[in-house]
Each structure stands twice: as C-alpha cells, then as structure tokens.
Structure 1
Amino acid sequence: MEILLTNDDGIYAPGLAAMERQLQKLGNVTVVAPATEQSGVGHSITFLSPLVCKEAYDGDRHRGYAVEGSPADCVKIGVFEFCKKRPDLIVSGINGGLNAGINVLYSGTVAAAIEGAFFGITSVAVSLEWDENPQFDVAALKGREIIEKILAQKGEPAQLFNLNFPTAALRKKSIVQVVPMGLARYGEHFIKRKDPRGRDYYWSTGDPKPEHGSEETDLSALEKGDITLTPLHFNLTESAYLDRMKSWDLQIAD
C-alpha cells in the first residue's frame, strides 16, 4: 500500500513521527509536510509565489519533504511530484489539538485530508486533544488500528474521514463513536488589552463552550471521553435549496 502522510504542525512534529511509525506497518509511507507550523490556515494554497521544497533527514535517514507552504500544498505536490506511485491512502496528523465541530472549517489538518479526497483517494485526518504531555504513540497505535478497520469496510468510492482522540480515551478501553460534526457556535469572547504603544488588541478566549443538543455529535462524544469518527464531504452545494431556486424569477432585462 502506498501512503502519503502530512500534517499542519510541521515536518518535525512528534505527532507526525508517531503516525509514520505506525503507518509503516501498513505499507510504504511518503512524508510531505510543511516546513513550519501551519495550524489554522484552512484550505489555503500557494499560487502567487514558487513553492519551495527541500528534502528532510533524521540523521542519515531520509525523512521526507519539507514544503514552504500549506498542508493542502503538501498533498497536492506530494501526489504529483514526490510519491513514486499514486497513493492508496492519505493521512493527515496526528494533530496536537482536537479538530471537531465547526473547527474543521479552519483546520489545516482536515484541509489536507480534503485535498486528498479531491483526488479520489481515501483520506483520514487524525487529531489528539491538546495536553502538556501528549501520548502520540498511543494515539498513533489506536489510529492505525481504526484506519485498518476503515479500509476493510469502507467500500467504493474513496471516502473522507475525521478521527479525533480525547486524552481520556488513551487511558482506558475506549469506544469509537460514529457521529456527525457538531454545529454549535463557540469561541465568541475576546479579551481587550492595550499594547505598549497604547493600541487596542483583542485575544480570543475560545469561550463560551458549545451547548449540546439532543443529538450526539463529535463535540458531545469527545466531552464524554469517546473517540469520534465522522465521514465528511466537500460538496458545499445546498442541494435541497438548489431545487427550490430553480423556480425563482432571476432573469434581468437586456
């Protein structure tokens, strides 16, 4: 199996290394990752300037390719230039911090997986709840086992998945919940301060926490300490409303 591995925390991130070690048990892994951290860049790509890439090494071992660009850039150039064969699987992570709820829209980790899905390649974004002493090796082991199960059961065509590990799930026998992405709003509060020159600046607090409804989502399941797996898609068309709009009078005079 040919596997392309990337992330948004940078090519030297410990979560990437842990995931690489586990994925090597499944096949040949090509690492193409940002040269520096690209958290929160979403699905940005580089097209107004050259995309600088260089080979990265871990001692004498060829580690992969460091790209002066976004996670989506890494997948795009990885598929076209650096993978010896077209990948069968693309994995993005392990990210240091959860990517759940509406945060998937901002996440460079998830964007890399979406880019992989653009190519018709099954792609999985993997994230671990932030912790001062993250157990990336444990999360990578569990992640690899879940990815194996996904590949064995997903069928055709290629699919896109978002996999999240709460810290609590690494310390116990954990449940994997297949749940939708939570849509609750949060992170609306800012602290206002002044810089040394007297200018106002604002720092997002991430509060308030989202309120959960009656339906279980990735946000509510993660809060319980469960692992979450969410199938995603990138078609943003509102199909039901599209049909309704076809009857609108939108013609304008010549």
Structure 2
Amino acid sequence: MKFLISNDDGYLAPGINALAATLARFGDVVVVAPERNRSGASNSLTLDRPLSVRKAPNGFFFVNGTPTDCVHLAVTGLLDFRPDMVISGINHGPNMGDDTLYSGTVAAATEAFLLGIPALAFSLASNAADNLPTACHAVEKLVERCLQKPFNLPVLLNVNVPDIPVDKIEGISVTRLGRRHMAESVIKTVTPRGETVYWVGPPGSVQDAGAGTDFHAIANNRISVTPLMIDLTAYDQQDGIKTWLCS
C-alpha cells in the first residue's frame, strides 16, 4: 500500500508527524505538505507563480503553496508512482458542517478524489489537540477497514475525532454535515502605524446539530465519518430557473 499524506497545518505540525508514523505500519508513506500553516486555504491552486518543493531532514517534502497544490504536484508529476490512497491531517481543530468548504485539510483530500484516488481527511475536533493518539486510533481503524474491504470507486471521507482519550470513544457514526449560523462580525483593529485592519471573526454557533450530523456525533463522543461529494448542482432548482429564464 502506498500512501500520500498532506495537511494544511504545515509539514512541521505534530498531527502530520503522528499520521505518518501511524500509516508506516500499513505501507510506504510519502509526505508532501505546505511549508507553513495554510488553514482556510480551501481548494485554491497557485497559478500566479511557480512552486518550489524542498525536502526536510526527516524526508518530508514541503511546498510553498496550498494543500491542494501539494496533492496536485505530488500526483501529477512529483512522485514516480500513483498513490493507492491519500490521507490528509491530522488537523488541529474540527472540520465539520460549513467549515468543510474552507478547510485546507478537506481540500487536500478533495484534490486526490478529483484525481481518482480514494481520500480521507482526519481532524481532531478541538484546537487543543490533547489526544492525538485517539485520532491515530481512528486512522488505524479506518485504514484497516479499507484494506479488508477496498472501495470499488474513489471515495472522499471527512473524519472528525473527539479530542478525548481512546477509552472514552463511544463508537463510529456515519454522518451528514451539520450547519452553523452566520460567522461572527469581523474584528476591527488599528496598527501602530494608524492603519485600520480587520481580522476574520470566529465561526458562528451551531444551527443544525441534530441526530445524524457530524456535530451530534462529536458531542456524543463518537467518531464522525461523513462521505462527501463534489457536484454542487442544485438539481431541484433547475426547472424553476428554466421557467424564470423563459417566462
């Protein structure tokens, strides 16, 4: 089994080091990750400049680009093999509900999925990230299952793990994405030079955290596994838009 690993926290993040060590039990591992934290980069590709790839002393490759850049470069030219699976993470902080649209962790996995490779994104659902062994346990369980029963088609799974000790985990739930309220207002500050600048505010509170959602699973100490798709077409609106255009 040949694994490609990436993330959005950067190649020095504890989560990606823990992930690489965990996956080394199952096969060959190559890490291609951003040179610095690129959280919130979403699915952006760098098209306005060339990208450089360097190799760290531990063997990890790091790129001066986004998580999507990392996977795209690795699969389409950097590596001399095609990965059997791409795994992104382990992210420090949750990627649930609407947050998945902005997540660089999920974006790295999404790029692999678009290139026809099964992909999983793992996030530890707390910024404290005190329980990386729990996330590694989830990685082991899901990869073992993938090896026992390989997917017939590429899949994209978004996995969130409660930031609690392994023995407190209550199981695994297959979930859907929940929803948040609107984000909090931007934070306006003034620099020492008198310039007004704005920080993006924190995410809004949870609006839809009912049974079956990723938020609900995490709140109940369960690992959340959400299968994702890329087709954004609003099929139920197509007839209405046709009528609107032609009337």
Q: Is the pair's TM-score, using the shorter chain for normalization, greater than 0.5?
A: yes
> What letter matches 2:116 in structure 1?
G
Alignment of 1:41-190 (within 5 A): 41-58=41-58, 63-132=59-128, 134-153=130-149, 155-168=151-164, 170-190=166-186
Partner of 2:212: 216
Distance in 1, Cα, partners of 2:138 & 2:203? 30
Change over 3 Å in CA distance of 1:109–1:103 after alignment to 2: same
Contact 2:169 2:221 in 1 (8 A): no
Change over 3 Å in CA distance of 1:185–1:125 after alignment to 2: same
Distance in 2, Cα, partners of 1:113 & 1:10? 15
Change over 3 Å in CA distance of 1:159–1:207 after alignment to 2: closer
**C-alpha displacement at 1:177, in angstroms?**
1.1
Equivalent residue in structure 2 for 1:229, among 215, 225, 229: 225
Contact 2:112 2:119 in 1 (8 A): yes
The TM-score normalised by the length of structure 2 is 0.89
Structure 1: gaps (5+ residues): none
Change over 3 Å in CA distance of 1:230–1:150 after alignment to 2: farther
Contact 1:177 1:228 in 2 (8 A): yes
The TM-score normalised by the length of structure 1 is 0.87
> Which secondary structure does the structure 1 equivalent of 2:17 belong to?
helix
Contact 1:169 1:225 in 2 (8 A): no
**C-alpha displacement at 1:248, in angstroms?**
4.9
The count of residues paired between Structure 1 and Structure 2 equals: 247
Q: Which moved more, 1:190-199 or 1:24-33?
A: 190-199
**C-alpha displacement at 1:47, in angstroms?**
1.4
- The answer to whether the aligner puts 1:8 opposite 2:15 as a matched pair is no
Report the identity percentage.
35
Change over 3 Å in CA distance of 1:214–1:38 after alignment to 2: closer
Distance in 1, Cα, partners of 2:55 & 2:195? 42
> What letter matches 2:32 in structure 1?
V
> Which secondary structure does the structure 2 equivalent of 1:51 belong to?
coil
Distance in 2, Cα, partners of 1:35 & 1:151? 31
Change over 3 Å in CA distance of 1:75–1:198 after alignment to 2: same
- The answer to whether the aligner puts 1:240 opposite 2:236 as a matched pair is yes
Structure 2: gaps (5+ residues): none
> Which secondary structure does the structure 2 equivalent of 1:143 belong to?
helix
Encode CA deviations 1:134-180: one digit per residue, 9 max, x unaligned: 33233113212123224544632110000011212635143111110
Flag as ranges the 4+ runs of structure 1 deviating above 6 A. Answer: none
Contact 1:4 1:83 in 2 (8 A): no
> What letter matches 2:179 in structure 1?
L
Contact 1:90 1:113 in 2 (8 A): yes
Distance in 2, Cα, partners of 1:248 & 1:207? 35
Distance in 2, Cα, partners of 1:248 & 1:197? 51
